[in-house]
Amino acid sequence: MLSALFIAMLTAITVWWLLIQRLKDKPWLKQGVVPTSQETVTSSAPKVGLWVFLAVVSSLFGLFASAYMMRVGGHGGLVTWQALDEPSVLWINTLVLVLASGAMQVARNRIDADDFTGGRSYFLTAGLLTVVFLAGQIFAWQQARAGGNLGPGSPAYAFFVLLTAVHGLHLIGGLWVLGRTTARIFRVDANSVVARSRLRLSVQLCTTYWHWLLLIWLGVFALLLST
């Protein structure tokens, strides 16, 4: 159901977008050069590429969430769902990821204002906080296992580890890009307009990615808490 809603939302966005792209045109009647999207577009290919990728990531988590909810709901006359006591450390982890996202935003603002030294510190702080978050998630796995009566055979525990692990893997991918961008911040030629603009773009992309993964984590956490 969740996935169907997600797809419906994306479809609505697509149809709306197609409509504003003059899809009502009668191309057989018009000749000559007409303004294309290139002449009015403000975004760039990497930004569009990232948003397409985030749609794929969202679809992935939406489907995991759908599977989770179907299982919790006793789909197909299954045995009763044994809920997991969510480890308390997840609250701290959530706060850490919020801070990471915030630090990333400050870094972006600083670098947009050509303050590379300040931006660098916040950028690295965001990375560090993300590493802390990931370590906290691993601790949460242990806490859940130690505190509850649920083993690996338990669907609740397995779903918990799976959802957090897939989210963590996406963050690790982000950290790899963050590492490369950090190296670029250190060697940026502040006099080069092109280099500054490329760096800004990289930081903007990282920021978008971090915010989005924070939103996904909040969704996953809410889902876990709701059962």
Partner 1 sequence: MAYVAIADRDHPMHDPQTWIEKYVWSQDHKVIAIQYGSVAIGVGLVALALSLLMRLQIGFPDTFPFITPYNYYQFVTMHGMIMVIYLLTALFLGGFGNYLIPLMCGARDMVFPYLNMLSFWVYLLSVIVLLASFFVPGGPTGGGWTLYPPQTVLEGTPGHDWGILLMLLSLAIFIVAFTMGGLNYVTTVLQARCRGMTLMRMPLSVWGIFVATILGLLAFPALLVAAIMMILDRLIGTSFFMPAIMSLGEIAETDGGSPVLFQHLFWFFGHPEVYIVALPAFGIVSDLLSTHARKNIFGYRMMVWAIVAIGALSFIVWAHHMYVSGMNPYFGFFFATTTLIIAIPTAIKVYNWVLTLWRADIQINIPNLFAIGFIFTFVHGGLTGLFLGNVTVDLPLSDTYFVIGHFHMVMGVSPVMVLFGAIYHWFPKISGKMPNQTLGYIHFWMTFLGTYAIYLPMHYIGILGMPRRYYAYGTTDFIPESAHAVNEAITIAAIVVAVAQLIFLVNVFYSLRKGKQAPDNPWGATTLEWQTPQTPPVHGNWGPKLPVVYRWAYDYSVPGEPKDFIPQNEPPKGHHSLANS
> Which of the ranges 19-27, 91-99, 134-142, 183-191 carries the binding residues for partner 1, by CB under 8 A?
19-27
* 166 sits near partner 1 (criterion: CB under 8 A): yes
* 193 sits near partner 1 (criterion: CB under 8 A): no
* 152 sits near partner 1 (criterion: CB under 8 A): yes
Smallest separation, CB 129 to partner 1 (Å)? 27
> Which of the ranges 31-39, 104-112, 114-122, 184-192 carries the binding residues for partner 1, by CB under 8 A?
31-39
- Binder among 16, 75, 128, 173 for partner 1 (CB under 8 A): 75
* 72 sits near partner 1 (criterion: CB under 8 A): no
* 23 sits near partner 1 (criterion: CB under 8 A): yes
Identify whether the C-beta of residue 65 lies closer than 8 Å to the C-beta of residue 225: no
> Among residues 79 and 117, whose Cβ is nearest to partner 1?
79
- Binder among 36, 40, 149, 191 for partner 1 (CB under 8 A): 36
* 182 sits near partner 1 (criterion: CB under 8 A): no
Smallest separation, CB 119 to partner 1 (Å)? 22
Q: For 87, what's the count of Cα atoms within 13 Å in the CB-facing half-sphere?
A: 23
Q: What is the 3-state secondary structure (H, E, C) of the chain?
A: CHHHHHHHHHHHHHHHHHHHCCCCCCCCCCCCCCCCHHHHCCCCHHHHHHHHHHHHHHHHHHHHHHHHHHHHCCCCCCCCCCCCCCCCHHHHHHHHHHHHHHHHHHHHHHHHCCCHHHHHHHHHHHHHHHHHHHHHHHHHHHHHHHHCCCCCCCHHHHHHHHHHHHHHHHHHHHHHHHHHHHHHHHHCCCCCHHHHHHHHHHHHHHHHHHHHHHHHHHHHHHHHHCC
Binding site residues, partner 1, CB under 8 A: 3-4, 7, 10-11, 14-15, 18, 21-28, 30-34, 36-39, 41, 43-45, 48-49, 52-53, 55-56, 59-60, 63-64, 67, 70-71, 75-76, 78-79, 152-155, 158-159, 162, 166
